[in-house]
Structure 1
Amino acid sequence: MSFQVFGTAVSRGVAIGRAVLVASSRLDVAHYFVDEAQVPVEVARCHAARDQVAEELTLLRDQLPPDAPAELAALLDVHLMLVRDEALVDAAVDWVRERHYNAEWALSAQLEVLARQFDEMEDEYLRERKADLEQVVERMLSVLARQADPTLGLAPRDFAGEDPLLLVAADISPADLLGFRDGVFKGFITDIGGKTSHTAIVARSMDIPAVVGTREASRLIRQDDWVVIDGDAGAVIVNPSPIVLEEYRFRQRQSELERARLARLRHTPAVTLDGEAVQMHANIELPGDAKAALAAGAEGVGLFRSEFLFMGRGGQLPSEEEQYEAYREAVEAMQGRPVTIRTVDIGADKPLDRAPAGDGRYDHVLNPALGLRAIRWSLSEPAMFRQQLRAIYRASAHGPVRLLLPMVAHMKELRQVRDCITRVRQQLVDNQQPTGQVELGVMIEIPAAALILDALLPLVDFVSIGTNDLIQYTLAIDRADESVAHLYDPWHPAVMQLLATVIGACRARGKGVSVCGEMAGDVAFTDALLAMGLRSFSMHPSQIAFVKQRILRADASKLAAQLPQLLGDEDPERVAKRLGWA
């Protein structure tokens, strides 16, 4: 039966493929693909978990006291029957052999299949046996967790020759999604999330269609269902009819032709019709992304999100040497173009796997978006922070590097960082380690920083506006919460006024200013940002050609003359549409 699910479109395009469900569990379940040579090992792990749980249940039943209720022994017999049922373990083994899932993923996937079969049973007693099945699988997953190799992670493999795969989950962390960035999945769907959640941002960086905030997709879609993701409309079509499928395949082909046409602009300078040159930079998550940025025509890296080096590691922080090698790789890949490295921005929807200090300070935070995150976290972990600064300054010996501080809100934070930089640079001099000149910048993503900008500017070389958080903190909207997603409004007059004020102040003081948030890569805002005087955009490499095309067709002086109309209206979006900007 065909049906549709709707959510928030976060990455454009069309993807068609078979659904791969990452089922949620009360236990943390690792999801990764294994090589052909590893398949027998994972099969053996499934069988070993079954045998151990069966042994445990048998022992429990045999050791029941004489006065134990008869129902308890019967319950254990049911659990034993379930654990030995070929519909569970043998079917999970098929997932391992056919899809190359690891054992944990295979068992949780088969649990999802069987749980839905129980839900559809008419007999109430049989329906209630689903809880027994879940308890059995939880036991097996616990056994597997004790056996697991902690070094294993989300390891993508090549699925050439097989049907395209689409990831469906209640939610998936940005770190996990990065594990699948090498082309395993052609799109993804989640139950929760918003347009500017970091999971959505990573999806755009991977340039794959995605829909989030569907609420029910992971419950309604079944393993191996044929699914269409309409990343433009925010729609998910499950088991589409042949006519609908062919229509979307046509749209896919049209999209590929459009991308091929725009690709010819990658070496064309971004200059407006009235001769204003605009810098086109790229946002990256990992050093390997720099090659894609260069291929897309980026003139530099405007935002290297260093926190992704810290995530998905079981809480083990990367060493100075590991960070240095990562930064050096990105710097060298950009071949003399500047690389802006943001210090680690951990917190909110980008948590570490566990607290690095191990003292519980980071656990159970009531409101992580307002808690110990970004520069606050770095300054609270001075040893870690100095280590990252040393790695960044060492990498600057290989090419131009700029250092960017996230979530600065206080002058004292900036002064603390500058003192830390002084000590780090002296350490490197004492150790005779070469460095280059590193420009220092701050992110304007808190209204307080925008209001004290005149005091901040003398202490920095440049400013980067993080519109995602600036909108979030200005409007008091949790951008990862789909229940308030409709209130997240980049066109809000307060947001427009802040952007214009920050850009104008930086230009008046001769300080470089760029926008590295999602607005920079959205062509609906290109004209408005040009009108405000912005001449440096940083976005995901896949978006550069679309924005550059818009810039090439724009007249910056005419746009600037119309800016007062935008800023003076209570509904800037309405004005932008009337002017033909949005």
Structure 2
Amino acid sequence: MSFQVFGLPVSRGVAIGRAVLVASSRVDVAHYFIDETQVDAEIERLRAARDEVADELGNLKRDLPADAPGELSALLDVHLLLLHDETLADATKQWIQERHYNAEWALSAQLEVIARQFDDMEDEYLRERKADLEQVVERLLRALARASSGGHVPAPGVGPRDFAGEDPLVLVANDIAPADMLQFKRSVFTGFITDVGGKTSHTAIVARSMDIPAVVGAREASHIIRQDDWVVIDGDSGIVVVDPSPLLLEEYRFRQRQSGLERDRLARLRHTPAVTLDGERVELQANIELPVDAPAALEAGAVGVGLFRSEFLFMNRNGELPGEEEQFEAYRSAVEAMKGLPVTIRTVDIGADKPLDRMSSAELRHEHALNPALGLRAIRWSLSEPGMFRQQLRAILRAGAFGKVRLLIPMVAHLSEVRMTLEAIARAKQQLADAGRPHANVEVGAMIEVPAAALALPALLPHFDFVSVGTNDLIQYTLAIDRADEAVAHLYDPWHPAVLQLIARTIECARAAGKGVSVCGEMAGDPAFTELLLAMGLRSFSMHPSQIAAVKQRVLRADTRRLAPHLSAILSSENPEGACVTFFAKTGAPE
């Protein structure tokens, strides 16, 4: 029976496919695709884990004391029966053989299927056996983890399976960590659905960077959607349709075709210079997470990288942080891939919704803080880890010898932190000079994402060469809204007058001081804000490569001389969004 699930639209378009559930578990489960040649080895891993658990359960039963209740022995017998049950064993192998899931993922997927069968049973005793099944699967998962010596890292060059000719797939989960999103970034999924998250949560941001439809904050989606259900993701309205009727399915497929035609039309603008009707040249740069994203930025027509989120180099590493050499090679790779265009590298922005899997005692305390978004994160974390910070600074400075590199400091708020940061940069330069290593004197910029920084900008500007407005956090901190919390996501409002006034103030102040200013948050890539940001005087935008063409189209149709006179009225309006539509429609810019 068809039904709908409602969430927040975060990445536009329509996706149609079969649901792939990433089930939550009390045991951490790795989810990755294996290569065709690895299928037999993965099934052998599963068999070895089953044999180990069978021995474990057999030993437990043998070692029961003579006076142990008979129910304990019977319970262990039940667990042994479930362990060898064909519904679990054979079907798990099938997930590996047909979908090329790793063994842990295959087990989790089959547990989800069987658990729902237990839930549908009328007999209470049988329903309660679901807990026994979960315990058996957890034993298997622990055995697989032990055999993998702390976790699996896919071998270089082993990519996701090619599902050409098979049904398209959409990913459904309670949540997806930013690091896990990178594992899926070049995978087979055509869309994402999560129970939690907001419009600027990192799941949403990465989904937009992948240019695939996504809905977040869908509450119980992962509990009511079943494995292999046909699902439609309407990324424009935030609606998920499960088991759609043939008529509805055809309507959405028509919309898919229309979206494809629109993309093709916009793609023709990729190499057209972004110049307004009145001759104002506008920089449209790209946000990237990893060096391998740089070619896509060039292909999309970006004139540089306005934000390289270096923290993604630090994730999914089983506790081992990247050293100076590894970071240097990554940064140099991105710089060389951009072929002389500027690359702005942000120092590691760890904390809040981007935790590391290696944590110090201070970080562990922070992880359990009441509000980690206000705790040890971004530049605060870097300054608390001076050894790590100097390694990163040296790597970035060395990469600057291979092209135009700029250094961006996140979450600037206090002059004391600014001075400590600049001292760390000076020490890193001196260390490189003493070692005779080539490096560059790079420009240093501040991210304006805390209201205090926007308000105190005149005092900060003398210490920096440029500023970049991170609208995602600026909105979050201005409105006291956790941007990853779906319970308050409806209050996250980029059109709020206070937010717009802070952005306008920042742009005006930076331009008056002769300092470069850009916007690198999600507002930069949203065409609804293009004319307003141009009216504020912004001439440098940075966004996901997939968004460049749509924003460029708005730039090419804009006349900044006709936009600017309306700025004051819009900023003082009770409804800035409506005022933009009213005033900018008169300029000839598209509504």
Q: Same fold (TM over 0.5)?
A: yes
Q: 1:144 to 1:151 in 2, by over 3 A?
A: closer
Q: Which moves more between the two structures, 429-438 or 12-21?
A: 429-438
Q: Deviations over 1:81-109 (max 9, x none)?
A: 11111101111111111111111111111
1:352 alignment partner AA:
L
1:102 alignment partner AA:
N
**Contact kept in structure 2, 1:465 and 1:514, CA below 8 Å:** yes
**Contact kept in structure 2, 1:355 and 1:361, CA below 8 Å:** no
Counterpart in the other structure of 2:583: 579
**Contact kept in structure 2, 1:317 and 1:356, CA below 8 Å:** no
Computed over aligned residues only, the root mean square deviation of the Cα atoms, in angstroms, reads 1.5
Cα offset for 1:151? 6.2
**Contact kept in structure 2, 1:393 and 1:438, CA below 8 Å:** yes
Cα offset for 1:315? 1.8
Equivalent-residue separation in structure 1 for 2:337 and 2:142 (angstroms): 43
Cα offset for 1:74? 2.0
Cα offset for 1:423? 1.3
Cα offset for 1:359? 7.8
Equivalent-residue separation in structure 1 for 2:3 and 2:281 (angstroms): 48
Q: Deviations over 1:445-489 (max 9, x none)?
A: 001111110011111110000000000001100000000001101
1:194 alignment partner, one of 198, 203, 209: 198
- Asked if 1:535 is matched to 2:534, the reply is no
Cα offset for 1:511? 0.6
Equivalent-residue separation in structure 2 for 1:158 and 1:415 (angstroms): 51
Q: How many residues align?
A: 582
Equivalent-residue separation in structure 1 for 2:563 and 2:546 (angstroms): 26
Counterpart in the other structure of 2:393: 389
Counterpart in the other structure of 1:475: 479
Q: 1:195 to 1:360 in 2, by over 3 A?
A: closer
Q: Which moves more between the two structures, 476-485 or 178-187?
A: 178-187
- Asked if 1:524 is matched to 2:493, the reply is no
1:371 alignment partner, one of 375, 383, 386: 375
- What does 1:73-222 align with in structure 2 at a 5 Å threshold? 73-150=73-150, 152-153=152-153, 156-222=160-226
Structure 1 gaps, min length 5 = none
- What does 1:43-58 align with in structure 2 at a 5 Å threshold? 43-58=43-58
2:406 alignment partner, one of 402, 409, 412: 402
Q: Which moves more between the two structures, 383-392 or 159-168?
A: 159-168
Equivalent-residue separation in structure 1 for 2:226 and 2:501 (angstroms): 47
- What does 1:464-503 align with in structure 2 at a 5 Å threshold? 464-503=468-507
Equivalent-residue separation in structure 2 for 1:151 and 1:71 (angstroms): 35
SS of equivalent to 2:281: coil
Cα offset for 1:362? 4.3
1:385 alignment partner AA:
F
Cα offset for 1:147? 0.8
Q: Which moves more between the two structures, 155-164 or 262-271?
A: 155-164
1:210 alignment partner AA:
A
Structure 2 gaps, min length 5 = 586-590
**Contact kept in structure 1, 2:175 and 2:195, CA below 8 Å:** yes
Q: Deviations over 1:234-268 (max 9, x none)?
A: 11111212211111111111111111111111111
1:259 alignment partner, one of 260, 263, 270: 263
2:170 alignment partner AA:
L
- What does 1:301-450 align with in structure 2 at a 5 Å threshold? 301-356=305-360, 360-450=364-454
- TM-score normalised according to structure 1 size: 0.98
SS of equivalent to 1:186: strand
Equivalent-residue separation in structure 1 for 2:329 and 2:526 (angstroms): 32
SS of equivalent to 1:281: strand
1:527 alignment partner AA:
E
Cα offset for 1:429? 1.5
2:454 alignment partner AA:
A
Cα offset for 1:183? 3.5
SS of equivalent to 1:441: strand
**Contact kept in structure 2, 1:169 and 1:190, CA below 8 Å:** yes
- Asked if 1:245 is matched to 2:249, the reply is yes
Equivalent-residue separation in structure 2 for 1:31 and 1:487 (angstroms): 33
- TM-score normalised according to structure 2 size: 0.96
Equivalent-residue separation in structure 1 for 2:360 and 2:325 (angstroms): 18
SS of equivalent to 2:382: helix
**Contact kept in structure 1, 2:363 and 2:376, CA below 8 Å:** no
- Asked if 1:19 is matched to 2:19, the reply is yes
Equivalent-residue separation in structure 2 for 1:504 and 1:103 (angstroms): 56
**Contact kept in structure 2, 1:401 and 1:437, CA below 8 Å:** no
Cα offset for 1:219? 0.9
**Contact kept in structure 2, 1:17 and 1:163, CA below 8 Å:** yes
2:514 alignment partner, one of 502, 505, 510: 510
**Contact kept in structure 1, 2:145 and 2:151, CA below 8 Å:** no
Counterpart in the other structure of 1:42: 42
Equivalent-residue separation in structure 2 for 1:359 and 1:326 (angstroms): 26
Counterpart in the other structure of 2:287: 283
1:79 alignment partner AA:
H
**Contact kept in structure 2, 1:316 and 1:356, CA below 8 Å:** no
SS of equivalent to 1:482: coil
